[in-house]
């Protein structure tokens, strides 16, 4: 075949493939400049109300104390009309004493970031601060009750040199059940030991707890099945920057007994997942950008009952990574789709991830058609991103704290 004929044939094939991708909704969602509403710079966690009219944030304020090696901080929960930038209510939690690191940063003794969530009916706000759950009335953030968490035992190990090392557990995730009566808390110790605890919000009593399978759980998130009967978690089966093993890495626990009901392998080092009411599980890779691997990972979708891989969803040039979130009504899902490249350190012969830009993309959950890709949002990679209940807004917090209005 002459080169010109080969080119023509290749063009036809490429066009046909492209048309097929378009038909299947596999092209990256179009990029647009989304309208954003800024949240306080110190926001550590945030959530959008079910009616999508307000946002609740939790942040810290520093207080000086006489001892130069210590600082006092207070955690502040604030309710905002984010469209008008108007604060509606505020709750100040207990004061905590923290140690000052040599670089001047503040070390929380509990090593637990605060987490705040609206209840599914929007009537209460649940916030985790310093190993204590505060239940607040959503209208004015009046505290209704508070109860401490029962921390698991420390993990003790012996180093190769014979030194005893004690690892204190910290909370890695917290999520409310779809019915709003139960809060699930994930404890992590020494990066690989996990324990899930369920608490009754009305009484503050621990209803159930169980250990998770051993794995690299330190970056894992929790996801309730919309029916409230199952609690899902992804536990990477190998350490970061390794190739996934053949073992299972997604587990679905019975919320009544703690027993494993389903488990399957994604082929990724999955940390973030989402699940739909019909049992579709969304998973994204959190593995390192490597010399010859993991340049453009796809968002994968699995059947929870069978573990079968249903489809892969393409994103921008370097794929979908790190985080995935679905709206409570099952209409949309999003993932981090920023461009990641490799930077080789010749002195150490090590390849590092390099952020080129930081975006997220949104898809229709019914047909997987792309809806929108955000503008570049500096700091988004080191932030958490969540969709609102109806999928009309997204919120990020951490290095980039904003509410995004979606088309």
- State the total domains in the chain: 1
pLDDT, tens digit, 9 for 90 and up, residues 106-122: 444 445 789 999 999 99
* pLDDT at 333 exceeding the cut of 70: yes
Residue 137 forms part of a structural domain: yes
Predicted confidence band of residue 14 (pLDDT cuts 50, 70, 90): very low
Please name which of 222, 7, 23, 191 lies closest in space to residue 115, comparing C-alpha atoms: 222
In a domain, 186, yes or no: no
Residue 27: pLDDT band with limits 50, 70, 90: low
Asked whether residue 65 carries a pLDDT value surpassing 90, the answer given is: no
Banded model confidence at residue 13, pLDDT cuts 50, 70, 90:
very low
Collapsed DSSP state (helix, strand, coil) of residue 363: strand
pLDDT at 247 over 80: yes
Within a domain: 95: yes
Using the predicted structure, report yes or no on whether residue 287 has a pLDDT greater than 90: no
Q: How confident is the model at residue 335 (pLDDT cuts 50, 70, 90)?
A: very high
Whether residue 140 lies inside any domain: the answer is: yes
Q: How does residue 83 score in pLDDT terms, banded at 50, 70 and 90?
A: very high
Q: Is the confidence at residue 133, as pLDDT, over 60?
A: yes
The SS3 assignment for 120 reads coil
At 324, the pLDDT band (50, 70, 90 cuts) reads: very high
Round to whole Å and give the CA distance between 50 and 53.
Answer: 8
The average pLDDT across 119-138 equals 96
Cα dihedral 261, 148, 214, 284 in deg (nearest 10): 70
Q: Is the pLDDT of residue 254 over 90?
A: yes
Place 4 in a pLDDT band, splitting at 50, 70 and 90: very low
263/282 Cα distance (integer angstroms): 14
In a domain, 71, yes or no: yes
Token representation of residue 336: 């981090």
Residue with tokens 């393409």: 314
Inter-residue contact 258 to 210 (CB < 8 Å): yes
pLDDT classification of 191: cutoffs 50, 70, 90:
confident
Structural domain harbouring 109? 45-148
Local confidence band at 275 (pLDDT 50, 70, 90 cut-offs) = very high
What percent of the chain has pLDDT above 90? 67
pLDDT score at 243: 87
Buried/exposed 202-223: b ≥16 CB within 10 Å, e otherwise = eebeeebeeebbebbbbbbbbb
Per-chain mean pLDDT for the chain? 87
Contact by Cβ (8 Å): 249, 266: yes
First to last CA, the chain: 48
Query: Within a domain: residue 127?
Result: yes
Q: Helix or strand or coil: residue 8?
A: helix
- Would you state the pLDDT for residue 111? 56
Residue 225 lies in a domain: no
pLDDT at 316 over 60: yes
Contact present, 250 and 283 (Cβ < 8 Å): yes
Is residue 400 assigned to a domain? Answer: no
Lowest mean pLDDT: which of 92-101, 122-131, 141-150, 193-202? Answer: 92-101
């Amino acid at each position: 075949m002459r080169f010109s004929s080969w080119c023509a044939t290749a063009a036809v094939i490429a066009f046909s493939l492209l048309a097929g991708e378009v038909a299947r909704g596999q092209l990256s969602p179009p990029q647009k400049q989304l309208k954003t509403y800024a949240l306080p710079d110190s926001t550590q966690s945030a959530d959008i109300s079910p009616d999508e009219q307000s946002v609740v944030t939790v942040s810290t304020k520093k207080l000086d104390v006489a001892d130069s090696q210590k600082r006092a901080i207070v955690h502040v929960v604030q309710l905002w009309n984010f469209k008008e930038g108007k604060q509606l209510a505020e709750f100040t939690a207990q004061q905590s004493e923290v140690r000052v690191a040599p670089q001047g940063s503040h070390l929380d003794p509990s090593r637990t970031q605060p987490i705040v969530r609206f209840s599914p009916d929007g009537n209460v706000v649940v916030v985790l601060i310093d190993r204590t759950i505060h239940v607040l009335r959503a209208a004015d953030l009046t505290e209704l009750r508070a109860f401490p968490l029962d921390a698991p035992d420390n993990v003790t190990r012996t180093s190769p040199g014979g030194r005893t090392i004690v690892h204190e557990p910290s909370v890695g995730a917290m999520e409310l059940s779809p019915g709003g009566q139960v809060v699930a808390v994930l404890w992590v110790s020494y990066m690989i030991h996990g324990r899930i605890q369920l608490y009754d919000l009305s009484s503050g009593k621990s209803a159930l707890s169980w250990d998770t399978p051993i794995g690299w759980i330190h970056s894992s998130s929790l996801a309730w099945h919309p029916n409230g009967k199952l609690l899902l978690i992804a536990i990477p089966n190998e350490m970061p920057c390794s190739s996934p093993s053949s073992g299972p890495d997604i587990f679905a626990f019975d919320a009544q007994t703690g027993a494993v009901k389903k488990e399957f392998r994604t082929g990724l080092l999955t940390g973030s997942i989402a699940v739909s009411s019909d049992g579709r599980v969304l998973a994204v890779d959190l593995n390192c950008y490597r010399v010859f691997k993991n340049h453009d990972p796809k968002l994968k979708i699995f059947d929870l009952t069978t573990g079968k891989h249903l489809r892969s969803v393409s994103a921008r040039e370097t794929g979908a990574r790190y985080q995935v979130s679905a709206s409570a009504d099952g209409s949309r899902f999003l993932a981090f789709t920023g461009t990641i490249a490799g930077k080789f350190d010749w002195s150490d012969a090590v390849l590092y991830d390099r952020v080129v830009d930081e975006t997220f993309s949104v898809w229709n959950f019914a047909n997987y058609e792309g809806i929108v890709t955000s503008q570049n949002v500096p700091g988004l990679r080191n932030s958490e991103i969540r969709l609102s209940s109806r999928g009309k807004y997204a919120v990020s917090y951490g290095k980039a704290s904003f509410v995004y209005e979606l088309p």
